[in-house]
Structure 1
Amino acid sequence: MVAINKEIVTLDPHLIGVDWGSTCLRVFLIGSYGEVLATRTSAQGSSSMNGSAWAYEQSLEQLAGDWLQEYPDIKVLACGMVGSKHGWLEVPYVACPSDVNAIAARVMSVKGVDQRRFDIVPGMAYRPANGVPDVMRGEETQIAGVLSLRPEASQRSCIILPGTHSKWVQIEQGKVTAFATHMTGELFAILRQHSVLGRLMPSQQNELDPIAFLRGVEDARQGMYLGFAHQLFAVRTLGLMEMMPPSSLADYLSGLLIGHEIQAGLGWRLAAGLEQAPLILVGDPSLCAHYAQALSHCGVLNASILSNTAPVGLWAIERATAGVHATKLAHKVNV
């Protein structure tokens, strides 16, 4: 199934941007100033491609083939899992700290059957001196979009990207200097669908129960000494003892998971000296609103929200890529 927004192509498009996640494919027709002229989505995520170059090209053709035909010389730039080990072309991670120019310098190209060139954005890797490595693919492009939309955040800021694998990102002098991944969304899905905790929950989730959600956030804040695994079991016992209705248990679980993520993230932010720096939530507006509510409950009132910044990020990276190519050409001429 393909979803298409109202297309308002009045100017010559400058770029076809592609955000290729594990479960979803999004394409954007982007103008010369980064404006999104049209958006299309499908369920042809990278997990359904099985690492087949032909499958990737065919999926993109099905979703944006008319754009490719109408604008034969337009550039195509893709980010996300399309550049992973099982993607269309594996593009090595750029090392953190990095900025948009470092990302642009590591963009790689693959040619389709008709010799059209498709450019793919690298992911980003963070290897702390005294910790385990962390990686992202796709979020680096959203971050580039944030810094393009909010230049004041380039100096010092903390960016949160909620989702299946939430990212907390530190920004200094226009560079991603550190980031940490929390598997909050994936844990919620697994626990709700495949654990004993989900047995008392209704199959269809109703509207958010804000009281149950904030109780979970508060219990995460107040009861960390009991241990996360112990607190999780409360999702079951609160239902068994009829202290919380079944319809509220999923929201309590969500609050508990998000609450633990926020407690860890705020401590990490404080240790980095970014407590007074801008805090920006990026992603699905509804999910970001839940995070903003939880942050507010924990005393953080200054978080702002941006929706999908991937199109602007793709545009910013493409512009930086053009600058990289110009610099290389000038160097060859001078030599």
Structure 2
Amino acid sequence: MENRADGQADERRALALASLIGVDWGSTGLRAFLVGTDGLALAERATSRGASTLSGKEAFAEVLEQVAGDWMRARPDLKVLACGMVGSLHGWLDVPYAVCPANAPALAAGVAVTPNGEAHIVPGLLYDDGELPPDVMRGEETQILGALALRPELQGASCIVLPGTHSKWAQVRDGEVQRFATHMTGELYAVLRQHSVLGRLMESGGGFDEAAFNDGIDAARVNGHLGVGHQMFAARTLGVTGRLPAAALADYLSGLLIGHELRAGLAWRGEAGLDQAPLALVGSRELCRRYELALRRYGDVPSLALDNTAPAGLLTLARAAGLAPN
């Protein structure tokens, strides 16, 4: 009972200090935050009821009520600002993309409010130069703005990498996202492991095999010109021939795919003249650690890692949109 009382007291303090109720609402999950004036989360709640799991617009209001309804009633003066797939065609509200180059005011200008006023929703970001196929993001733009707010040295010129199911590489100059590129590294890994011949020999549960992961990185770095489609098959043949144990094959494949992402991403970064600019990783500690290991194999590229920048980004956008005090 004492621990529960302490938790309730902590949440009351968080409510008293909060400037915003922020929501990072992706396809498969939702995280809600009480955001302080410094852009850090004072309290956090989570649910697996992401946008892709819901049917009907009314379901979004129900989930928000379940997760943060008591916060909203306790502090009716606080605005609710949500980013991510909640603003997609299959989300609560289809919010049009802002167009690169874009900064916080440009994104804030596109914020839309739900029909009954429960929440404001951040637009995603579109890059389309009319030559290459267009690229889009929803949610990552808010994390990028959060990284810029938390680490001002990134605002002048930087490359921000957001590892994940669909990894994003963003070029930043003068506080604007100039352009970005998506790599389906995480999804490709999951599909290959679960639904292809490569996964049949793989065993799990043995812990992270850093040596096998590095072998995959080096295969992409040294022989990437052979093509990822060819090199992926080694995640089977190395097991068939006994060159790698079954428990190491998944980490070899992970290293190979991340290695190809870095091979392309670092070249793209260099072509933009950002090879001497800071490189920041934004994401879970475990995943960022893999990217840090991979960057070392590519010449020890210096980087900094940030964990959860969504609350800071949501506060930045809320202030730019006049939804939270400066």
TM range (shorter): over 0.9
Q: 2:225 and 2:151 mapped to 1: Cα distance?
A: 38
Letter aligned with residue 261 of structure 1: E
Structure-to-structure mapping, 1:40-55, within 5 angstroms: 40-50=45-55, 52-55=56-59
SS in 1 for 2:322: helix
1:249-260 equivalences in 2 (<5 Å)? 249-260=249-260
User: What is the letter of the counterpart of residue 174 of structure 1?
Assistant: G
How far did 1:324 drift?
Answer: 11
Name the count of aligned residue pairs: 317
For residues 178 and 282 of structure 1, what CA distance do their matches in structure 2 show? Answer: 17
Of 219-228 and 86-95, the range deviating more from structure 2: 219-228
Letter in 2 for 1:220: A
Kindly provide the CA deviation profile for residues 65-119 of structure 1, in whole angstroms up to 9, marking residues without a partner as x: 211121122100000000000110000000000001100011000133xxx4310
Structure 1 residue identity aligned to 2:102:
S
Aligned equivalent of 1:102, options 106, 112, 115: 106
1:296 correspondence with 2:296: yes
Q: Between 85-94 and 35-44, report the one with greater CA deviation.
A: 35-44
Q: CA deviation at 1:130?
A: 2.4
Q: C-alpha distance in 2, partners of 1:98/1:200?
A: 46
Please give the secondary structure, in 1, of the residue aligned with 2:233. Answer: helix
Counterpart residue type for residue 296 of structure 2:
S
Partner of 2:21 in structure 1? 16
Deviation track 1:256-310 (CA, whole Å, cap 9, x = no partner) reads 0000000000000000000000000001011001001100111133110000100
1:157 counterpart SS class:
strand
Distance 1:99 1:145 in 2: 12
Equivalent residue number for residue 125 of structure 2: 124
Q: Secondary structure at the match of 1:38?
A: strand
Q: What TM-score does the superposition give when structure 2 sets the normalisation length? A: 0.94
Contact 2:319 2:325 in 1 (8 A): no
Task: Tell me the SS of whatever aligns to 1:181.
Answer: strand
CA contact (8 A) 1:155 1:174 kept: yes
Which residue type is aligned with residue 65 of structure 1? G
SS in 2 for 1:223: helix
Residue 71 of structure 1 pairs with residue 75 of structure 2: yes
Query: What secondary structure sits across from 1:322 in the alignment?
Result: coil
1:37 aligns with 2:42: yes
Number of the residue aligned with 1:330? none
Return the letter of the residue paired with 2:90. H
Give the share of equivalent positions with the same residue, in percent. 54
**Does the 8 Å CA contact 1:9/1:38 hold for their aligned counterparts?**
no
Give 1:32 shift: 2.9
> Deviations along 1:108-147, whole A, 9 cap, x unmatched?
00133xxx43100000000124211000000000011011
Tell me if structure 1 keeps the 8 A contact 2:105–2:320: yes
Matches within 5 A, 1:250-289: 250-289=250-289
| Alpha-carbon separation, structure 1, partners of 2:38 and 2:215 | 44
- The answer to whether the 8 A contact 2:284-2:307 is kept is yes
- Structure 1 unaligned blocks of 5 or more: 327-335
Q: 2:198 aligns to what SS in structure 1?
A: helix
For residues 323 and 8 of structure 1, do their structure 2 counterparts lie closer, same or farther at Cα, with a shift above 3 Å needed?
A: closer
Partner of 1:60: 64
Who is 1:28 aligned against? 33
| Residue 188 (structure 2) pairs with residue 187 (structure 1) | yes
CA distance in 1, matches of 2:323, 2:88: 25
Q: CA deviation at 1:150?
A: 1.1
2:126 maps to a residue whose letter is A
Distance change >3 Å, CA 200–CA 315, structure 1 → 2 = same
Separation (CA, whole Å) in 1 of partners of 2:323 and 2:187: 38
Kept in 2: contact 1:105–1:324 (CA 8 A): no
Aligned partners of 2:201 and 2:246 also within 8 Å: yes
**Structure 2 CA distance for aligned equivalents of residues 21 and 145 of structure 1:** 17
Distance in 1 between residues matched to 2:297 and 2:171, nearest whole Å: 22
Q: Is the 8 A contact 1:101 1:324 kept in 2?
A: no
Equivalents in 2 of 1:219, 1:312: separation in Å? 38
Q: Shift in Å at residue 33 of structure 1? A: 3.2
Distance across 1 between alignment mates of 2:93 and 2:323: 23
2:61 and 2:118 in contact (8 A); partners too:
no
1:79-98, aligned counterparts within 5 Å? 79-98=83-102
Q: Which runs of 4+ in 1 moved over 3 A?
A: 6-9, 323-326
